């Protein structure tokens, strides 16, 4: 569902229009609200409430199937309503449970407003940490942003920059990189992933002249990874590692803080960027944008990133299913 006051509902409607003959999906949302939104935006999207994914598969070509998650109040585009927080969180929990039970192959989440959820007692920094708790792998979750042009993984995520630097250790960097390496092999089909580890300071510290963190923290992490047989290189100077030529030399950039990873990804290819949670026992993706309250309800939201998230989720789910079948057959 995401925040119903944002553009998630509009993007869901437009995604069905674009993919009604593609990968089938079911929305976990309020059918009445989606009907009202479709009328408001003059989008021809029939809405059919369904009980489960089997029923959703049968109707998908003719209508958008929706498992009902009733909202407490009718949404007002651009204005988050704490009263609807329970439905938002409930849609995430139910989707995760459905995938865990094998009732769906993957889950794709629309953007939420974290501050609006915090006000109602939501105890997690965001989707990623909440899903890790729901699936029993807290502490092992890793956020990747992926597009056709670049994959990035931030070692620290939703914390202040001062705190992010204090959190960095060789073991933390190596742990995030190992999870990323394993996911690239299993989910992305890259047999020998190449990991570029970003430096922290300008010019990766300039041999200590611009800071000791790269030599004291980042370099030891790379040594740990290399000793484990992982193709990890660096520390790469952050100001040059995202050029066109540099990007051909690695499969993923391991970055040390949120903006170091997300700024280049969003600058290069925000429309096709997808947020993927690594380290989970389920496949979860989401579009690489926020709630966009400023354009909510106006009919101008671009569903491209959501479509990319749906396509990638289907690809990853199919690869995991194939690997599971191969393991079972073996």
Reported as a single tens digit per residue, the pLDDT across 5-33 is: 999 999 999 999 998 877 899 999 999 99
Read off the pLDDT of each residue in 317-327 and give the average, rounded to a whole number: 66
Two structure tokens written together for 115: 């501050």
Contact assessment for residue 254 and residue 195, using Cβ atoms and an 8 Å cutoff: yes
pLDDT digits (tens, 9 = 90+) for 103-135: 999 999 999 988 888 888 888 887 888 999 999
The CATH homologous superfamily of the domain defined by 142-279: Isopropylmalate Dehydrogenase (3.40.718.10)
Measured distance CA(280)–CA(129) in Å, rounded: 10
**Residue 304: partners with Cβ closer than 8 Å, 6 or more residues away:** 271, 272
pLDDT digits (tens, 9 = 90+) for 79-103: 999 999 999 999 999 999 999 999 9
Please choose, from the candidates 70, 52, 64, the residue with its C-alpha nearest in 3D space to the C-alpha of residue 24. 64
pLDDT at 326 over 50: no
Helix locations, 195-253, DSSP H: 213, 219-227, 244-247
Determine the Cα angle at 138 with ends 137 and 141, to 5°: 80
Describe the strand order of the beta sheet including 142-146 as a list of residue ranges: 107-108, 284-287, 274-278, 142-146, 151-154, 252-255, 194-198, 231-236
Two structure tokens written together for 38: 């479709």
Query: To 10 degrees, the CA torsion angle through 72, 77, 81, 84?
Result: 30
User: Any idea what DSSP says for residue 76?
Assistant: B
- Could you tell me the pLDDT band of residue 205, with boundaries at 50, 70 and 90? low
Mean confidence (pLDDT) of the chain: 92
Q: What is the pLDDT of residue 324?
A: 52
Q: Which residues of 112-151 are buried (b: 16+ CB within 10 A; e: fewer)?
A: bbbebbeeeebebeebbbbbbebbeeeeebbbbbbbeebb
Measured distance CA(57)–CA(60) in Å, rounded: 5
Q: What is the pLDDT of residue 327?
A: 37
Provide, rounded to the nearest whole percent, the portion of the chain with pLDDT above 90.
83
Measured distance CA(173)–CA(265) in Å, rounded: 20
Q: Which residues of 60-81 are buried (b: 16+ CB within 10 A; e: fewer)?
A: beebbbbbebebeeebebbebb
**Residue 319: CB atoms within 10 Å:** 15
Read off the pLDDT of each residue in 165-185 and give the average, rounded to a whole number: 97
Q: What is the pLDDT of residue 323?
A: 52
Identify the bridge partners of residue 285 per DSSP, sorted by sequence position: 108, 276
- Could you tell me the pLDDT band of residue 329, with boundaries at 50, 70 and 90? very low
pLDDT at 216 over 50: yes
Measured distance CA(276)–CA(179) in Å, rounded: 13
CA 12 to chain centre: 16
Q: What is the pLDDT of residue 328?
A: 38
pLDDT at 208 over 90: no
Q: List, by residue range, all CATH 3.40.718.10 domains of the chain.
A: 1-136+281-330, 142-279
Q: What are phi and psi of 207, to 5 degrees?
A: 55, 35
Contact assessment for residue 262 and residue 155, using Cβ atoms and an 8 Å cutoff: no
pLDDT at 45 over 80: yes
Identify the bridge partners of residue 66 per DSSP, sorted by sequence position: 27, 49
Please choose, from the candidates 322, 316, 250, the residue with its C-alpha nearest in 3D space to the C-alpha of residue 106. 316
Please choose, from the candidates 28, 10, 24, 15, the residue with its C-alpha nearest in 3D space to the C-alpha of residue 92. 28
Topology of the domain covering 1-136+281-330:
Isopropylmalate Dehydrogenase (3.40.718)
Two structure tokens written together for 82: 């704490």
């Amino acid at each position: 569902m995401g925040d119903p006051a944002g553009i998630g509902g509009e993007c869901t409607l437009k995604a069905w229009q674009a993919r009604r003959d593609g990968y089938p999906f079911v929305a976990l949302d309020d059918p009445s609200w989606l009907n009202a939104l479709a009328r408001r935006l003059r989008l021809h999207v029939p809405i059919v409430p369904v009980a489960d994914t089997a029923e959703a598969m049968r109707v998908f070509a003719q209508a958008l199937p929706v498992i009902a998650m009733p909202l407490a109040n009718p949404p007002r585009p651009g204005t988050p309503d704490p009263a609807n927080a329970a439905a938002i969180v409930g849609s995430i929990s139910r989707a995760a449970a459905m995938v865990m039970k094998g009732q769906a192959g993957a889950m794709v989440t629309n953007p939420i407003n974290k501050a609006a959820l915090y006000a109602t007692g939501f105890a997690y920094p965001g989707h990623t940490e909440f899903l890790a708790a729901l699936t029993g792998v807290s502490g092992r979750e890793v956020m990747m942003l992926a597009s056709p042009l670049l994959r990035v993984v931030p070692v620290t995520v939703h914390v202040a920059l001062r705190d992010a630097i204090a959190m960095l250790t060789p073991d933390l960097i190596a742990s995030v990189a190992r999870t990323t390496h394993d996911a690239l092999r299993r989910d992305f089909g890259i047999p020998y992933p190449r990991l570029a580890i970003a430096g922290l300071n300008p010019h990766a510290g300039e041999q200590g002249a611009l800071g000791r963190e790269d030599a004291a923290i980042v370099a030891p992490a790379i040594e740990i990874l290399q000793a484990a047989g992982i193709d990890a290189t660096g520390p790469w100077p952050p100001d040059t590692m995202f050029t066109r030529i540099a990007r051909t030399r690695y499969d993923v950039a391991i970055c040390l803080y949120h903006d170091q990873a997300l700024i280049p990804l969003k600058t290069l290819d925000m429309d096709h960027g997808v947020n993927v949670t690594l380290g989970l026992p389920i496949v979860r993706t989401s579009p690489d944008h926020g709630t966009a309250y400023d354009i909510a309800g106006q009919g101008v939201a671009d569903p491209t990133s959501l479509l990319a998230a749906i396509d990638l989720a289907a690809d990853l789910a199919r690869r995991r299913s194939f690997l599971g079948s191969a393991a079972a057959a073996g």
